[in-house]
Amino acid sequence: MSIQDTIIQAFVDQFDTEPTFVIRAPGRVNLIGEHTDYNDGFVLPMAIDRAVWLAVRPRAADRVFLRSLEQVEPTDFALNAIHHTNAGWSEYVKGMAFMLQRAGYDLRGWEGVMSSDVPIGSGLSSSAALEMGVGCAFAAVSGFPFDGVEMAQLGQKNENEWVGANTGIMDQMISANGREGYALLIDCRDLSMRATPLPSDTLVVIMDTKTRHSHTESGYNERRMSCERAAAFFGVSHLRDVTVAQVQHAKLELDDVTLRRARHVVTENQRVLDAIAAMRMDDPVTLGRLMNASHASLRDDFEVTNDALDVMAMLAQATPGCYGARMTGGGFGGCAVALVRRDSAETISTTVAQQYEAATGLQPDMFVTTATAGTAIIQL
Ligand code: ADP
Ligand code: MG
């Protein structure tokens, strides 16, 4: 049974009637542009065919009730008394309500069920998908339009201020605004977007190493601090405004670690722009090379890969039909992404999975995806 059918069935079982709205909010994979969003830089993600699904209906009481098929405890709270209770996943739901109200929206209550096939904590952004899905549910039942950019901003505020994760805006932007068949170049400074089609006859393979970040919080925050330190050194607010030449010239004055962190961000921004140029030329070979270079930079300069990600990317890169591969997401575990020839996607998945298992003893999860649409109400 599809996940769509599953949640509709679960809704009917629980409420004895059909849902009023069914909503799909996708996870995402970033093709290139990693750790650039919080540096006001460029990213190039696409929405994937793994998503959070919600089936909901409005209710008279000003309360929200949501059951996740993946969680034991449902979320249940009053819209006029939203408090922090540190109740795990509920905080993502309450935080969206809080941020929408703070932005001036008059919210109506609703109830429903949700389910997701975006793996948690693997770098495909199950949290942003959940936030955008919940935001869309509030828009649908309260009768205001879903504004993809504003909702992304509220989702990031939720994650930063309510949930307490110091993340950038890429995940929410792509989950909210994804477009079928296209990757989205996002300028994280002004949130402008340009949809760019994937090269013809290519597919994207997502390769879950099955390793998860354990102490990422500190690693991630440390990287952010290095970037801030480097920006201050160059006298700018964000590394977006620093050139590759400037970083090279700073070699003697800047400590080695900060220099390498800055070099990753600055060269990665350039790689995103080069990637867009390659896509415009329908050139998967150049795009793939840029992805390989991105992985090397994340491994050697930014140091956010782990052995599993390095092995996975290397195996994919060496397989015929693969144009390029790199880690994707925050790093320290999770998924790698490969750009492959359409007719090789299945073979590459199988081959790389076998080799990865032989090398690491871990059983990876591979799946082929196209670029899908962003968060929306699904017409049944
Ligand atoms: P990711 O990289 O997948 O976004 P995060 O740690 O940022 O990982 O977010 C994962 C959190 O999002 C989970 O711990 C949970 O609170 C929430 N979440 C994700 N998927 C679901 C789901 N299917 N049901 C309920 N909560 C979910
Ligand atoms: Mg997340």
pLDDT tens readout for residues 3-62: 999 999 999 999 999 999 999 999 999 999 999 999 999 999 999 999 999 999 999 999
Which stretch of 147-151, 220-224, 352-356, 364-368 has the lowest confidence by average pLDDT?
220-224
Expressed in angstroms and rounded, the spacing between residue 92 Cα and the centre of ligand 2 is: 10
Best mutation site among 6, 126, 327 for ligand 1, i.e. most ligand atoms within 8 A of its Cβ? 126
312, 336 contact by CB (below 8 A)? yes
Considering the segment(s) 198-369 as one domain, its CATH architecture is: 2-Layer Sandwich (3.30)
79, 68 contact by CB (below 8 A)? no
- Residue 109, pLDDT above cutoff 70: yes
Q: Label residue 214 by pLDDT band (50, 70, 90).
A: low
Pocket of ligand 1 (CB under 6 A): 68, 70-71, 88-89, 92, 116, 120-123, 125-127, 130
Fold match flag (3-193+372-377 vs 198-369): no
| Residue positions counted in the chain | 380
Q: Where are the beta strands (DSSP E) in the chain?
A: 21-32, 42-58, 63-68, 75-78, 110-116, 182-187, 192-197, 202-208, 322-327, 335-341, 365-369, 376-377
Q: How far is 109 from 86, CA to CA, in rounded Å?
A: 21
Q: Where are the domains of the chain?
A: 3-193+372-377, 198-369
Q: Which residues are catalytic?
A: 171
Query: What percentage of residues in the chain have a pLDDT greater than 90?
Result: 95
Task: Quote the tokens at residue 322.
Answer: 């693969």
267, 261 contact by CB (below 8 A)? no
Considering the segment(s) 3-193+372-377 as one domain, its CATH architecture is: 2-Layer Sandwich (3.30)
Q: For the segment 279-324, what is each residue's pLDDT rounded down to a tens digit?
A: 999 999 999 999 999 999 999 999 999 999 999 999 999 999 999 9
Across all residues in the chain, what is the average pLDDT? Answer: 96
Expressed in angstroms and rounded, the spacing between residue 165 Cα and the centre of ligand 1 is: 12
Which residue, among 323, 303, 325, has the nearest Cα to 314 in the 3D structure? Answer: 325
Expressed in angstroms and rounded, the spacing between residue 41 Cα and the centre of ligand 2 is: 19
Task: Quote the tokens at residue 317.
Answer: 């890169």
pTM, two decimals, is: 0.96
Q: Label residue 216 by pLDDT band (50, 70, 90).
A: low
Task: Give the pLDDT of residue 203.
Answer: 97
